[in-house]
Structure 1
Amino acid sequence: MRVRKRKGAMEHLENHPEYVILEPEKAKGYWQDIFGNSNPVHIEVGSGKGAFITGMAAQNPDINYIGIDIQVSVLSYALDKVLESGLSNIKLLLVDGSSLTNYFENGEVGLMYLNFSDPWPKTRHEKRRLTYKSFLETYQQILPPRGEIHFKTDNRGLFEYSLSSFSQYGMILKKVWLDLHASDYEGNVMTEYEKKFSSKGQVIYRVEAQFKD
């Protein structure tokens, strides 16, 4: 999600160390200590303005959630939503999704969410897609055996590419939704993009993909 540069965004993040972990390298292997409990840790790579991560945290108080985004302004808006929620089971990271092994120990993350990632439609940009094989290698390291990625998008091309990428990597496609909002799926928490696109009648795709042992 790209937004206009927000004045004072970095200062806003720095002023809330209770939610924003500005030195995440030091947190590697200690996330449960940071949250102060032994609950599982779930992460969202590309958290946007925080609607999904706060919604999930409210819905599942026994799970710790970490929202990750590389854009300062975007993460500052996510922080607004977290502050408004008053929830204690959320942390935010200003980092790149390609370097997650710098911040999480092997098997430290229980589940991953990829929501409405940049489709990077041009072939020459394939390696930038968050479901490209090099990203999957990174995710596999920080997830446990049989760890899962839950992926949503409105972009059919990216969805088809991701299904293929997951399969070629040897992952199991546990569940696939070709029209999520027309299905009987319960408990769906929408992102900002999802609300916008679905209100215009666009189909939302979803898949739960699992790594093998």
Structure 2
Amino acid sequence: MDHVPRGPAPETAAPDTVPDVAPQLRALRRRRGLTLEAAAQRAGLSPAHLSRLETGNRQPSLPMLLALARIYGTTVAELLGETPPERDPVIRADRSEPVEADGWIYRQAGGAGRAMQCLRVHVPYATRADIVRVHPGEEWLYVLEGQVRLALGETVHLLDPGDGAHFDSLTPHRIGAAGRAGAEVLFVHTLLQSPAAELCLGGGAPHPR
């Protein structure tokens, strides 16, 4: 039986921009056989924070959704309850609804259930700039508008429109917009679903530096 620790009074319910994420988060965690405490530790969250995500009292940011998707061996699309009836190789612009979470705005730019996740992302200024991510796989991003600050290990790169980056996700990294107007990027990352990948996650999920 999961233990949900008592915490502060619930925060104001998030707007209905991510309608199915709360029940999906709980169902997928239980399907993976993880307790609330174990899943929270892997995601770099407190159990109380994850509990609020699962009850809909807190809205997850894009980095949280990506981290939880990796931990549960699924995709952001599944976390959002998107289950297309068939695998269409073409993703139409008018069918890609924007989703906003904690300042990040993103659209699915690829199909669900693939080995890679493709997103078009609006990266806000300084949001979670103090969060360093480390996890198995690869990431690729391409700047469409604005300027992106990409920290890889101890090196910080400023990327302008037309610049791209492709790196091993085991390299500690963080991504943020360099300007207050934010930045638009195309973002692709591999999704590892094997038991070995799950073991590799360990402390490799987001954690404060």
TM value normalised by structure 2: 0.31
Q: Which has the larger share of strand?
A: 2
TM value normalised by structure 1: 0.31
